Amino acid sequence: MRPFDYIRADSAEAATRQVADGGIFIAGGTNLLDLMKLEVMAPEALIDINRLELNQIEETEDGGLRIGALVTNSDLANDTRVRRDWPVLSRALLAGASAQLRNKATTGGNLLQRTRCLYFYDRAMACNKREPGSGCAAREGFNRILAVLGTSEHCIATHPSDMAVAMRALGAKVETLKEDGETRQLTLDELYLLPGDRPDRETVLEVGELITGVVLPARVDGRQTYRKVRDRASYAFALVSVAGIVAMEDGRIARADLAFGGLAPKPWRDAQVEALLVGETPSEALFNKAADQLLAQARGFGDNDFKLLLARRTLVSVLTELTETRT
C-alpha cells in the first residue's frame, strides 16, 4: 500500500473541499481498503467522514424514509420500519456480504462500491475501468460473473450491490452535496453511468461531491421480495438477482416494479417489462414474455451465457411468487 494522508473531516462542507484537493472519502472502507492494498486505487489522502451526523434514519412528511449516508447496512436492514414497509430492501441487505461487513459498510459506500470483475482487481491484466485505453481482458477471458446487459466493447463489468438493486425497484433518490455547497437529488438511474467508451466514469458525481443520504418514497401496496442466485449461500455476489414489488387487483397485475442485479454495469430496470405486465392476468406465458423483453438486447460472452437462461427462470419464479400464480 502506498503512503497517504489521513484527515478527519469535521463537517460535510469541509469534507467536500478536502476531497476536491486530491483525497477520497472513507467511511466503512470495506471495499476501498482492499483496492488500496492491491494498488488498484492509490489516493493521496483519505478523508474520514465517520464523525459527520449522517447516521440517522428519519421519516419524511410524505410517509417515506430519509436514510443518512453513514447508516450501516446492519442498522438499515434491521430497522423496524424498513422490515415492515420496505422488506425488499431489508432482504437485499441481509443477502449481501457477511454480518461483520454489514456492521461496517455504510449506505453511501454500498452505492459506490466498485465492480468485482477479476480483471479490474488484477493490475497485470488489461482493464479500461482501471486504466482507460488499456483494453478489456474480460471480454475474451473468464467472464462468468460479468454483465450481459448494458455492456460496451470497452467493458462488461457488473455492479455488485444488492442494496442498490432494491433501492432501484423502490424508486429511491440519492441526495448529494457539492464542493460549492449546491445540493441535488438523483434517481439511481441518473446516478450511475453505463460504460460506453468511458468505463472509468461510473457515476455522474463530480469531484468532491458527497452522498449525504437516500430518500425512500412512501410504501406502496403489494408483495415484495428479493431473490438472489449465487454460487454459495453467503458472502457471494449475485449471478442474477431480482427485486420485485407487485400489487394485484381483481386477479390482474395492477403494479409491477422490478430491478435486476448481476446482469449489468448498474442496477437494471426496464420500464417496458413492467408495462407489459400491468393490467394482465398472471400466467407463465406472460412471465416468459416479460423475460423476452428483458433479455431482448442481452448478450453473453462465453462463460456467462448461462445468465440468459438463469435470468429468465429467476424472473418467472419471482413473478410466480409475487402473484401467487399456480403453474
Mean pLDDT score across all residues of the chain: 96
- Collapsing DSSP states into helix, strand and coil, what is residue 116? coil
**Could you tell me the three cell numbers for 60?**
419524511
Q: Hey, which residues does 223 pair with through a beta bridge?
A: 246
Query: What integer pLDDT is reported at residue 233 of this predicted model?
Result: 85
DSSP E strands: which ranges in 124-261?
Answer: 173-177, 183-187, 210-216, 223-229, 240-249, 252-261
Among 64, 60, 19, 63, residue whose Cα is nearest residue 43: 19
| Domain assignment present for 35 | yes
- Residue found by looking up cell 448498474 in the block: 266
| Domain assignment present for 145 | no
Query: What integer pLDDT is reported at residue 325 of this predicted model?
Result: 85
Residue 288 has pLDDT above 90, yes or no: yes
pTM for this model (two decimals):
0.97
Query: Pairing between strand 65-68 and 45-48?
Result: unpaired
| Domain assignment present for 280 | yes
Specify the DSSP class assigned to residue 247.
Answer: E
| Domain assignment present for 38 | yes
Mean pLDDT, rounded, for 207-220: 97
- Residue found by looking up cell 467508451 in the block: 197
Query: What integer pLDDT is reported at residue 234 of this predicted model?
Result: 82
Mean pLDDT, rounded, for 221-247: 95
Question: pLDDT digits over 47-87, tens only?
Answer: 999 999 999 999 999 999 999 999 999 999 999 999 999 99
Distance, in Å, from the CA atom of 66 to the CA atom of 56, rounded to the nearest integer, reads 8
pLDDT range class, residue 176, cuts 50, 70, 90: very high
Mean pLDDT, rounded, for 21-49: 95
How many domains does one find in the chain?
2
| Domain assignment present for 308 | yes
Residue 146 has pLDDT above 80, yes or no: yes
Pick from 108-112, 159-163, 232-236, 301-305: least confident: 232-236
Mean pLDDT, rounded, for 108-127: 97
* Contact status, residue 26 vs residue 67, Cβ threshold 8 Å: no
pLDDT range class, residue 2, cuts 50, 70, 90: confident
| Domain assignment present for 79 | no
Among 108, 20, 120, 35, residue whose Cα is nearest residue 67: 108
- Other CB atoms within 10 Å distance of the CB of residue 176: 22
CATH number of 255's domain:
3.30.390.50
Query: What integer pLDDT is reported at residue 326 of this predicted model?
Result: 74
117 versus 97: the higher-pLDDT residue is 117
Identity of residue 18: Q
Mean pLDDT, rounded, for 83-99: 96
Distance, in Å, from the CA atom of 3 to the CA atom of 123, rounded to the nearest integer, reads 18
pLDDT range class, residue 20, cuts 50, 70, 90: confident
| Domain assignment present for 258 | yes
Mean pLDDT, rounded, for 124-128: 98
| Domain assignment present for 153 | no
CATH number of 24's domain:
3.30.43
Specify the DSSP class assigned to residue 114.
Answer: P
H helix intervals, 176-305: 188-191, 271-277, 284-294
Query: What integer pLDDT is reported at residue 327 of this predicted model?
Result: 59
Write down the number of H helices and E strands in the chain.
13, 11
* Contact status, residue 25 vs residue 47, Cβ threshold 8 Å: yes
Residue 240 has pLDDT above 80, yes or no: yes
- The whole domain housing 36 covers 5-50
Of the candidates 17, 33, 50, which is a domain's last residue?
50
Distance, in Å, from the CA atom of 166 to the CA atom of 260, rounded to the nearest integer, reads 8
Query: What integer pLDDT is reported at residue 177 of this predicted model?
Result: 98
Query: Pairing between strand 45-48 and 23-26?
Result: parallel
Mean pLDDT, rounded, for 221-233: 96
Mean pLDDT, rounded, for 144-153: 98
Mean pLDDT, rounded, for 97-108: 95
